[in-house]
Structure formats: C-alpha cells, structure tokens
C-alpha cells in the first residue's frame, strides 16, 4: 500500500493509479495522467513477458492501441509513448490483461526526454555507422526523400518490443546519410489500421492541393510544398484484415504528419496489395510546362504480379499497366538511370523486394521489359530496399537503403539494422546492361586513419598471409587481386577471412562466396576487385565495382585486433590492400 505522502505527491502531479482487484490471475489495469505536462511517457518492457494490448485514450477518446510485453518487474528497456501533442489533456492507458502482482504501474515514467538518454547508442552490439532504431524493432526502409538539404528516412517500427509487430513509421533525418537524428514515430496506426511499407515524395507544385496556403517566390516557385508519404494500411482485427493504400502529409517540413481524411486513396484490390512506391513521371515532350507529367504508383498485387497506377493529384488513381512475373514479390521500386553515365541512353529499372529487377522502357503508362529478371541478391541479409526520391539533378545519384533482414542482436533493446547507403548505376557488361551498387561516397568521410598499404604474392594454402597493422572493428578495406592461375582451374581458390567471416573466390567456377552465400562473378581483365565494409555486427562485400554485393550480419565474438588472413594456391595471385579505420556516427549525438 502506498504511503499517504506518495499518494499526495502523485495527486499533485495529476497522476492517478487505478488499483485493480488482485485476486484475479489476469486483470485489466489503467494508468492516468489528469493533465498532461510532459512530452513522453516511458513504459517498461520485458522481452518474453506476456503480451497485452494497451489502449491510448485522450479525454476519453481512443487514439490508438498497441501490443506490448509489459514488464512485471526489472524491465529490459523503456518504450516511449509521445503525448506532447495533447498537453493539458487527460491521458488514460488501459492494459487489457495484466498478471496479478505486476509492478508496471510503479515503473511508468513521464518525461521530457525521448528515452533513456544515458544508455542509448552506447549498447555493446549497437551498429556504429549503420542505422538501427534507438529502441524496438525495425524492418523495411520507407518514405525516403530529400528536401532542403535533409535526407528523410522512415522505417517500419515496433516501438513496443524487439520483435515484429505494432507496425508504425519511425522517422529520422540526416544531412549526410550517416549521422541520423531519430525523432518520434511519424505515422501511427489509425482507423484504417496499422502502417505497412510505402514511399515518400515532395509535391513541389502542390498538385494535391494539400498545401492550402502556398507561398511563392519571385520566380513563382512554391516555397512551402506539402511533403507526402504513402503507405499500406492493414485494417480490422488488429492488423490482420485487408490492405488498402493511404497517405499522410506534412506542412511543416516533416515535423508533424497529418492523416489524409479521405483515406484510403486506393481501396483493397486483390491479395496482399501493398507497398506503394510513388514518383513523378516527367513528360519530356512538354518539358516547359510546370506540370508536364503525372504521378505514378508502383504497387505489389499478389504472387509475382505488380501494377502501375497514374494520378494528376496524388488523390485519384487509375490503373494503367500490369507488370507480371517479375520473379519476386513485395516492395516495388521504379526509377530511370543513364547507361554508362550517358544521359542520352536511358533505361528504366523495375525492382522487387528480394532484389530481382527488370530493365526496360516506360512511356508514362506502359512499362516494356527489355531484359531480366536479374538479381542483386544471392542470399544473406538484404531485403525490401528502397531508393530516394527528389535527389537534386545536380547530384544525380540513385541512393538506396536496404533492410539487413535476419540479423541477431542478443539482449539488445533494439533489433535489426539497414545497409550502408548505396549508389546504383547501370553499366554495360559482357552479358548486357546490369545494375551495379557501391557504397555512397559519404561513407568515405568516416575514414579517420589509413593503414599502411600492403601487397603480397600468394604462396600456398599452407602459408596464409596475415595483413599486418589492422585494428578496431570498424573497417573499410579495398583489395585488388591480379589473378595468375588458369581461369579454367576449378580447384584453385582464393580465401580471405576476417572476424571469422570467410570469403572464397573460385575463378574457374566464376563464383564468389561470403559466409557460404554464393554469387556468380567473373574476373575483369584477369583482375578481381573487392571492397569490404565492416561494422560491429555486419560485413558488406562489393565485388568488381558493385556488380555483386552481399550483405551479412554476424555477432563478432573476436574481441582482439582485426586479423585479415589471405591464402590461395601458390603463384595464384598478387594481392594489394588499402584499408582505413572508420569512426562511429553516434559520437556527435552523445554530446
């Protein structure tokens, strides 16, 4: 029983605990704040504890609900509910089923801080330059767009636990694609359901009319266009119902997001129809007109089938094209790229969730396949990639993030991470036009020290070569290998190993492996180029300028210095290595 002084103190704060009947095995419990005066409420979470649904009511009106492993005691971490938009109003949290004797009510913490700031970004298995959420689970990157010098990154987020669930959109912003400031969740479940994957854009000409007070500069350019994100809503039965497509928008440069009252803009069509990717198609024949073009939505339908939709205003959509048998499902992306950097020779890429893609042409309505499907994914931890919209023409890059699906982060208060940002290009190869991926140039800004260059000639598998001087677990390593052996020799292999992650290349078979993940790779001019990017919990391999890339998560149990060991058949190859130590991105945020 609480003391009279404690009860008086809580009453003065406006906080009331409704004490349940403890005779029941599971009971409903409520937490109240009579008058909200703090921005956040931190809720105790214990991974593995029984799950319960919590309903969020403001002045007696339900706002949303979520499922959480509510800590009965000794929480693993605190999940954050933002309530600052309801200052002065009454908050009631109703936990549907709670085990008798649970002490969660005693551990709730109203606060003006977003989370346990003394601990966040300092965890043992925290990726040091790959994005991972402050707390909770993440999967697909969503809503990637660039606006006024800022990269916006949304992500599938379960703020209430380290497993998939409670799908919302988290939100982070960056000036350089590396140092991210994560804010509150931007898009929350609403009457249409939980929030699955989608995309984002800048409506530069206010075609949607969502900006009711547009401001124009002297050239007639709108200086406050609406920012718009599209997502799939899964309605009914707590996220187990049918899917439809919804939009949210911001009129304050992405600080707050408004549910469009006319949602859904596309109702349920078929199967799991989801993951809308929306972009502007420019009509080059009428390039002088400010609205010369229209919006296009690529949408996954069912099986291996997708469709394209067209709209003049982002609100009303018409189906214009089917794209069938892509060879994969979910998470479409679609973009145009020059071939070999030649802007007079352009192709469209249609991309699916597991990295398979088609190359073709697009006239604004019909996509015509020329070749494919090809793949950039051969296994490993890489899924649901999405590329940025609205990168300035002066930059011209097509930048992509992907979810490093399936990684493990034991006992961490967060789960899953993204790849490094990757730049995509189309290049001509002996096999035809193919998509290449390389780390975005921004990654090089993290290089803090260069190790001495190293070169050697392989002298047999019984004489492995250890590359001296490497230290730390944050590394960027470039290897150039001049092959000497007959490429038809299928027994000749080159092996490199670091932190127990083994890379094997067999020129006779034309194949490279990372940790057992196999991909076809032919030498170019009898030469092999590899780039390895190592973080605390991952390794990414880019081969021959990115014609092959493999992403792999692992838990590094080797606490010693980095040992890069290379071996191969005698006189097989000359090896040249250039390597840098990288710095973490979170230091700036800790200050």
Q: Among residues 116, 140, 237, 574, which one is catalytic?
A: 140
* pTM, entire model: 0.92
For residues 559-581, give the mean pLDDT. 90
- What would the DSSP string read from start to end of 456-490? EE---TTSPEEETT--SS-EEEEEEEEE-S-TT-T
What pLDDT, on a 0 to 100 scale, did the predictor assign at position 109?
92
CATH class of 4-111: mainly beta
Question: Is 449 in contact with 581 (CB distance < 8 Å)?
Answer: yes
Q: What is the pLDDT of residues 286-341, one digit of tens each?
A: 666 666 899 999 999 999 999 999 999 999 999 999 999 888 999 999 999 999 99
Residue whose token pair is 């990168």: 391
pLDDT reading at 589 higher than 70: no
Question: Is 353 in contact with 333 (CB distance < 8 Å)?
Answer: no
Closest CA to 437 of 517, 497, 377, 519: 377
With the CA atoms of 121, 123, 124 and 126 taken in that order, what torsion angle do they form, in degrees rounded to the nearest 10?
-40
Give domain limits for the chain: 4-111, 136-439, 445-590
With the CA atoms of 238, 241, 245 and 249 taken in that order, what torsion angle do they form, in degrees rounded to the nearest 10?
-10
Q: How far is 72 from 475, CA to CA, in rounded Å?
A: 41
pLDDT reading at 64 higher than 90: no
Under DSSP, the state recorded for 6 is H
**What H or E segment, with its residue span, contains residue 107?**
helix 104-107
Residue whose token pair is 């103190």: 9
Question: Is 306 in contact with 297 (CB distance < 8 Å)?
Answer: no
Q: How far is 262 from 77, CA to CA, in rounded Å?
A: 37
CATH code of domain 445-590: 2.60.120.560
Residue whose token pair is 């799950």: 51
Q: Is 431 a catalytic residue?
A: no
What is the C-alpha radius of gyration for the chain, rounded to an integer number of angstroms?
Answer: 26
What pLDDT, on a 0 to 100 scale, did the predictor assign at position 590?
42
Under DSSP, the state recorded for 112 is S
Which CATH number among 3.90.105.10, 2.115.10.20, 3.30.70.270, 2.170.190.11 corresponds to the domain 136-439? Answer: 2.115.10.20
Closest CA to 333 of 346, 314, 319, 352: 352
* Beta-bridge partners for 244: 233
Strand order in the sheet with 305-311: 274-282, 293-302, 305-311, 318-323
- What would the DSSP string read from start to end of 526-590? TEEEEEEEEETTEEEEEEGGGTEEEEEE------S---EEEEESTTSEEEEEEEEEE--SSHHHH
Q: Among 413-417, 521-525, 533-537, where is mean pLDDT lowest?
A: 521-525
The reply to whether 445-590 shares the fold of 4-111 is yes
Q: How far is 331 from 326, CA to CA, in rounded Å?
A: 12
Question: Is 201 in contact with 390 (CB distance < 8 Å)?
Answer: yes
Question: Is 536 in contact with 473 (CB distance < 8 Å)?
Answer: yes
For residues 37-49, give the mean pLDDT. 95
């Amino acid at each position: 029983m609480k003391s009279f002084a404690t009860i008086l103190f809580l009453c003065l704060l406006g906080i009331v605990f409704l004490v349940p009947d403890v005779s029941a095995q599971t009971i409903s419990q409520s937490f109240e704040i009579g008058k909200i005066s703090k921005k956040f409420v931190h809720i105790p979470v214990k991974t593995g504890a029984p799950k319960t649904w919590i309903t969020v009511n403001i002045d007696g009106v339900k706002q949303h609900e979520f499922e959480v492993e509510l800590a009965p005691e000794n929480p693993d971490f605190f999940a954050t509910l933002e309530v600052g938009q309801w200052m002065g109003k009454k908050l009631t949290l109703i936990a549907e089923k709670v085990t008798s004797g649970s002490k969660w009510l005693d551990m709730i913490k109203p606060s003006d801080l977003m989370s346990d700031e003394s601990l966040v970004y300092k965890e043992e298995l925290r990726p040091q330059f790959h994005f991972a959420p402050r707390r909770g689970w993440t999967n697909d990157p969503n809503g990637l767009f660039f606006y006024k010098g800022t990269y916006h990154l949304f992500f599938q987020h379960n703020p209430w636990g380290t497993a998939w669930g409670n799908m919302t959109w988290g939100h982070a912003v960056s000036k350089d694609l590396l140092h991210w400031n994560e804010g509150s969740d931007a898009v929350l479940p609403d009457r249409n359901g939980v929030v699955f994957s989608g995309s984002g854009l800048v409506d530069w000409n206010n075609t949607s009319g969502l900006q009711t007070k547009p401001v124009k500069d002297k050239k007639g350019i709108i200086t406050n266009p609406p920012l718009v994100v599209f997502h799939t809503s899964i309605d009914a039965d707590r996220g187990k119902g049918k899917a439809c497509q919804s939009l949210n928008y911001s009129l304050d440069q992405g600080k707050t997001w408004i549910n469009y009252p006319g949602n859904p803009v596309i109702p349920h069509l078929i199967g799991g129809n989801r993951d809308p990717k929306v972009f502007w198609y420019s009509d080059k024949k009428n390039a002088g007109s400010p609205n010369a073009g229209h919006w296009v939505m690529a949408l996954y339908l069912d099986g291996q089938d997708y469709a394209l939709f067209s709209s003049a205003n982002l609100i009303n959509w018409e189906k214009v094209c089917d794209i069938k048998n892509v060879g994969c499902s979910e998470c479409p992306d679609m973009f145009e790229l020059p071939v070999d950097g030649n802007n007079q020779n352009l192709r469209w890429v249609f991309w699916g969730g597991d990295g398979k893609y088609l190359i073709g042409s697009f006239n604004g309505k019909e996509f015509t396949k020329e070749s494919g499907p090809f793949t950039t994914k051969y296994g490993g931890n890489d899924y649901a990639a999405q590329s940025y919209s609205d990168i300035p023409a002066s930059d011209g890059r097509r930048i992509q993030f992907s979810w490093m699906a399936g990684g493990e982060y034991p006992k961490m208060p967060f789960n899953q991470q993204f790849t490094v940002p990757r730049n995509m290009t189309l290049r001509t190869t002996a096999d035809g036009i193919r998509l290449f991926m390389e780390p975005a140039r921004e990654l090089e800004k993290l290089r803090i020290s260069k190790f001495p260059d190293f070169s050697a000639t392989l002298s047999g598998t019984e004489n492995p070569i250890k590359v001296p001087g490497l230290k730390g677990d944050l590394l960027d390593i470039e290897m150039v290998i001049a092959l000497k052996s007959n490429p038809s020799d299928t027994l000749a292999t080159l092996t490199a190993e670091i932190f127990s992650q083994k890379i094997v290349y067999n020129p006779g078979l034309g194949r490279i492996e990372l940790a057992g993940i196999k991909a076809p790779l032919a030498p170019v001019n009898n030469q092999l180029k590899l780039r390895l990017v190592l973080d605390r919990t991952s390794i990414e391999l880019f081969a021959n300028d990115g014609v092959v890339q493999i992403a792999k998560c692992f838990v590094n149990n080797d606490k010693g210095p980095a040992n890069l060991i290379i071996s191969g058949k005698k006189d097989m190859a000359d090896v040249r290595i250039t390597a840098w130590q990288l710095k973490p991105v979170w230091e700036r945020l800790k200050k």
